[in-house]
Amino acid sequence: MKASLVISTYNWKEALELVLKSVLIQKEKPSEVIIADDGSTDETKALIDNFRERFDIPLHHVWQEDKGFRKSMIINKAVAKAKGPYIIQVDGDCIMHPSFIKDHMRYAKKGVYLSGSRVSLKESYLKTLFKKQKLRFHLFSKGLKKRGRALYLPLLSKFYKEDEGFNLKNRGCNMSFHRDDFIAVNGYNEDFEGWGREDSELGRRFHNYGLRNRRLKNIAIIYHIYHYEKPKDKLEMNHQMEVDAVQNKTVWCDHGIDKYLNE
């Protein structure tokens, strides 16, 4: 089965460079990479153009004008362009373990969405990270926070099973799903503008639709590059939309991916 890797980004080409380099060292490549760009400047475009020459798979750049945090919208646009029947989603500040794609594809299954965890890289390590362009980490690597999550044990991961309950730890920075399932719930809810809860609200609607979740523990590891927290001025409003999805058992959002599918 072919997979499209969707990477969301906004004006941090130094981090995106490391993420794209981590694509190059994957043991199993996706069929294409799509950069979901929420309004970055031409510096990001230049970086992507440079990597396009280094990739042996298609590298696409889907861009929208910068009108604030509109991650839901740009990911919908990217998934609409995707040719793979399976979508793997990461953020543009998350370096992927060399087996990241392979691990997601190993457990890809219709009617199930996958969610993995992340290892945090400390603020104090950023200078070293970018200077050395470090891509590979392990349990004892310098600069890690919550380093226990860096323990790569594929055999242990087999003991984590699919669950019909909602996964409170679902994060869009490390998630995968069948494209058809994403379309069936109309993708991300574009009423979410501003940081917070867009991923968990999508997970709620996946759950209401009948999808099961499988946690990817000790595999499919990403290393999240430290950055200052984004403004949370819309968090209360966004949280209420998630609550509404739970109370109303919502499956379909009115403002989602459907309007881009025939473009």
Residue with tokens 């794609």: 101
80 phi/psi in degrees, rounded to 5: -60, -30
Structural contact between residues 174 and 94, judged by C-beta atoms closer than 8 angstroms: yes
Is the pLDDT confidence value at 77 over 70? Answer: yes
**pLDDT tens profile 98-136:** 999 999 999 999 999 999 989 999 999 999 999 999 999
Which domains are delineated in the chain? 3-260 (3.90.550.10)
Q: Taking all residues of the chain, what is their mean pLDDT, rounded to a whole number? A: 94
**pLDDT tens profile 20-72:** 999 999 999 999 999 999 999 999 999 999 999 999 999 999 999 999 999 99
Quick one: average pLDDT of 195-209?
A: 91
Determine the pLDDT at residue 186.
Answer: 98
Which of 100-104, 115-119, 202-206, 235-239 shows the lowest mean pLDDT across its residues? 235-239
Report residue 152 as tokens.
């790569």
Determine the pLDDT at residue 160.
Answer: 87
Quick one: average pLDDT of 213-227?
A: 95
Higher-confidence residue of 177 and 160: namely 177
Q: What percent of the chain has pLDDT over 90?
A: 82
Which of 29-38, 90-99, 142-151 shows the lowest mean pLDDT across its residues? 142-151
Quick one: average pLDDT of 245-255?
A: 95
Residue among 116, 110, 88 nearest 101 (CA): 88
Residue 197 confidence class, pLDDT cut points 50, 70, 90: confident
Quick one: average pLDDT of 141-151?
A: 94
Determine the pLDDT at residue 239.
Answer: 82
Report residue 124 as tokens.
């104090």
pTM for the full model? 0.96
Determine the pLDDT at residue 246.
Answer: 87
Structural contact between residues 181 and 113, judged by C-beta atoms closer than 8 angstroms: yes
Is the pLDDT confidence value at 202 over 90? Answer: yes
Burial (0-12, 13-18, 19+ Cβ within 10 Å), 39: middle
Q: What order do you get walking across the sheet with 86-91 strand by strand? A: 59-63, 32-37, 3-9, 86-91, 174-178, 112-116, 212-216
CA distances from 195 to 139, 190, 199, 202, 205 (A): 30, 12, 10, 14, 19
Determine the pLDDT at residue 194.
Answer: 77
- Annotate 177-196 with DSSP letters as a single string: EEHHHHHHTTSS-TT--SSS
